[in-house]
Amino acid sequence: MGSTLIVLNLKTYLEGTGEGAVKMAQACMNVAESAGVMIGIAPQFPDIYRVASQVDIPVFSQHLDGVGAGGFTGHAFAQSIKDAGAIGTLINHSERRLTLLDIDASITSAKGAGLTTIVCTNNIATTAAAAALTPDYVAIELPELIGSGIPISKAEPEVVTGSVDAVKKINPAVKVLCGAGIKKGEDMKAALHLGSVGVLLASGIVKAKDPKAALEDLVSLI
């Protein structure tokens, strides 16, 4: 992956469901190509194959369980996620919290299937703990800012810089993403200035009147 990464989480927004997910992915791909950045997308589970088979874009699962093949009804199994076309997964999003033990199991399962891992965290301490488990990325998000339109890079920039410093001390190979409230070019610029290598975002783009235009604004200052 390139040095700058943007991941668009479609959550369960209707705008990003079914063919809507494909349209979002196409917008991401077009903007990524023109801006020279890496933009990935995290659709709902049933849309992973739909998106991956129609659009040349990195696709991430919104969750992954640390289970192997066998009797695990209702679990998100790493190999099936990869076979559907995903190249990576989110783990421990604030809307899908896991225990530290489960996070470790999910990372192990994902790595076993060759999937890139993005572990979401909500403060400096959990970021440090997550970094010790050697994911590819940690994404620092304050839950109270998610969907608020108030970017963490402005509201509490010290949480981002503190997380970056903590990760460097524990495992410099782990990269840091910034999330929560990110939607404008100035937010993206601030996140990179604070030491992150990209952003994880959702509603600011997915629910925008013109998602492609919103993405273009997001990358306009980098």
User: CA 91 to CA 14: how far, in whole Å?
Assistant: 22
Judge if pTM exceeds 0.85: yes
CB-CB neighbours of 36 under 10 Å: 10
| Total domains in the fold of the chain | 1
**193 tagged catalytic:** no
**63 tagged catalytic:** no
Q: At what angle do helices 211-218 and 19-35 cross, to 10 degrees?
A: 30
Which one of the listed residues 19, 75, 95, 141 is annotated catalytic? 141
User: CA 125 to CA 67: how far, in whole Å?
Assistant: 26
Domain that holds residue 60: 5-119+128-218
pLDDT given at position 144: 65
CATH of the domain at 210: 3.20.20.70
User: CA 191 to CA 169: how far, in whole Å?
Assistant: 20
pLDDT given at position 92: 96
Amino acid at 7: V
Which one of the listed residues 33, 93, 144, 158 is annotated catalytic? 93
Q: Report strand pairing: 88-91 vs 137-140.
A: unpaired
pLDDT given at position 1: 43
Angle at 142 between CA 136 and CA 143, to 5 degrees: 110
User: CA 52 to CA 48: how far, in whole Å?
Assistant: 6
SS3 at position 194 = coil
CB-CB neighbours of 144 under 10 Å: 15
Divide the 222 residues of the chain into consecutive groups of 10 and give the mean pLDDT of each group. Answer: 85 96 97 94 98 97 96 95 98 94 97 98 92 96 66 74 93 91 87 92 93 95 88
